[in-house]
Structure formats: structure tokens, C-alpha cells
Amino acid sequence: MQSVEKGLSMDMATQNASLAQPLAPAVAAPSTKVVARDVNVYYGEKHAIKNVSIDIPDNSVTAFIGPSGCGKSTFLRSINRMNDTIPICRVNGRIELEGQDIYDPRLDVVQLHARVGMVFQKPNPFPKSIYENVAYGPRIHGLAASKTELDEIVQTSLIKAGLFNEVKDRLNDTGTGLSGGQQQRLCIARAIAVSPDVILMDEPCSALDPIATAKVEELIDELRQNFCIIIVTHSMQQAARVSQRTAFFHLGVLVEEGETAQIFTNPQDKRTQDYITGRFG
């Protein structure tokens, strides 16, 4: 009986595939940027992430969603080894960035942080000028040979972050004097100033009002042309708006991952359905 059903559903699958063919995109699918295989994270005795495997494509936004304590932020932070600073934290399994193992002991973590940038929940500009906030990264990583070059990096980063027009006349004012939304875009400018491959965002809009949120979301959508973006968000509507792929975490397990449209209209796992429809617990 089972095999008959299987055969039928496979027939339907091939039918659907042949129907869908004319609609297939002409461009090739984006390449995979980050690969995680059987990743486990422990905080002392606590097993925070359990056997997570996922492929994260380049030039797209991947959203991690799930209830508080599900491990989504922990997993995000293990992608640029932010967890290294926590003494009781252990990570095993394999995470690759463009095929390179990021937990290779020979790897320079400072270099990794330049390649995998991070934006936090609360905007955290340095208590320095707007200019210095953006110039800091390129300077310590030696990305600019001259002052002119550094000026150029600062300007393009601010333009890319959609902030330049608002701050061009006061680049020497302190960054902490900006509004919350501007501060967050300043932090994004700071992250992209070192030309990273990946930008990790941990609830980048949860401290912002709806207009500032919309500006950051618009920015995220523009940035995905050039970067691989991974965003952790508590707002499912935000995940639905900004991401191309969505991964749902629960109790340290990656329950389901797929195209955002599919996850939000027709999730396959009951736990995903219960969470996104507001039926949890």
C-alpha cells in the first residue's frame, strides 16, 4: 500500500515539475556560502544546539525564527565564533565558509570577524564620531592605503547603508547622538566597511520604531545583492518580508528550513505550523 502511494505521489511530483518548467528562473541558483554539518553547541551541561545541518546561499537573506531559548541566536553566533568568548561554551561539528572550516585552529579569528560581520539587537556605535565608527574596521584590518582611500570607504559604506545623505554634513559628530534607527544603520555601515562575505544580524530592528524598521528592511533587501545575510528575528512578519529562506528552530533543533513563502503558507512540520500561526505551548 505504501509503495503504491509513494508511486502516485512521485507521479504527481513529476507532473508538477514538468508544469513548473516554463516558470523556472533563467539565472542559476545562488551558490552556497555557509555550510553547517552536525553542529552541536553546549553551554556547560546544557545542550543548546543539537545536530544542526544547513546550507545557506549567497546573495540572499536567510531568517532564523523560533521561540526564545530555541538556540537561533546561539547558532548565529557560532557562525563567526562569537561564542569563543564564553568560557563554558563548546562547539563541535563543522561550519564552513566558502569551503573553509571556520573552527580550524590555524584560522585567525580576527580575520574571520572581518569576513563575517555582525549587527546586534541594540545599536552599539562606538562613543566616537560617525566617521570614526565606520573607519575603525578598515583601519585595523589595513584595508585603506591612504586617508583618501579611507574617506572613500567611509563614504561608500554610509551610502550603501542608506545613511550618507542624513549625516554627510556632520561626519565628525558623535555616533551616539543619532536616532536609534540611524545608529543601527551606522552599525550596518560599520559592518559592511570591511567588505565582509556574510552579515549576521541578531534582531536588528527590535529596538526600532516601524519607520526605522522599514528603512533597515529596505536596506537589507538592497544589501543582499552583494552579501549573504543571516537574520535572527522574533517578528515572523519581518522574516516573511525580508528573507528568501527561513529556518525554524525549536529546543535547539532545526525543525524545518525552506523557501520563505513555503514556510509561511504551507509548513510541513506541525511544530512550525503551531509556532507561526501563534499556537505554541
The interface region with other proteins, picked from 52-60, 167-175, 188-196, 263-271 by CB under 8 A, is: 263-271
64 touches other proteins (CB under 8 A):
no
273 touches other proteins (CB under 8 A):
yes
Nearer to other proteins, 16 or 31 (CB): 16
Contact 102, 281 (CB under 8 A): no
Query: What minimum distance in Å lies between the beta carbon of 54 and other proteins?
Result: 21
**Residue ranges of the alpha helices (H) in 129-225?**
130-140, 147-160, 164-167, 180-192, 210-223
6 touches other proteins (CB under 8 A):
no
Residues touching other proteins, count (CB under 8 A): 19
Angle at 88 between CA 84 and CA 90, to 5 degrees: 60
Contact 225, 143 (CB under 8 A): no
Backbone φ and ψ of 140, nearest 5°: -70, -25
7 touches other proteins (CB under 8 A):
no
Nearer to other proteins, 15 or 179 (CB): 15
Find the binding residues for other proteins in span 185-244 (CB under 8 A). 236-237, 240
Q: Kindly report the number of other CB atoms within 10 A of residue 77's CB atom.
A: 21
Nearer to other proteins, 12 or 86 (CB): 12
H or E element: which one contains 53?
strand 46-57
Query: What minimum distance in Å lies between the beta carbon of 281 and other proteins?
Result: 7
Among 6, 46, 170, 279, binds other proteins (CB under 8 A): 279
Residue whose C-alpha cell reads 553547517 in the numeric block? 36
Nearer to other proteins, 221 or 274 (CB): 274
Picking from 88, 149, 139, 83, the residue whose alpha carbon sits closest to that of residue 116 is 83
267 touches other proteins (CB under 8 A):
yes
Site string for other proteins, 8-47 (x = CB under 8 A): ----x--xx-------------------------------
The type of residue at 73 is S
Backbone φ and ψ of 113, nearest 5°: -65, -30
277 touches other proteins (CB under 8 A):
yes
- Measure Cα distances from 50 to 40, 96, 108, 252, 254 in Å: 5, 17, 26, 5, 8
Positions touching other proteins (CB under 8 A) are 12, 15-16, 236-237, 240, 264-267, 272-274, 276-281
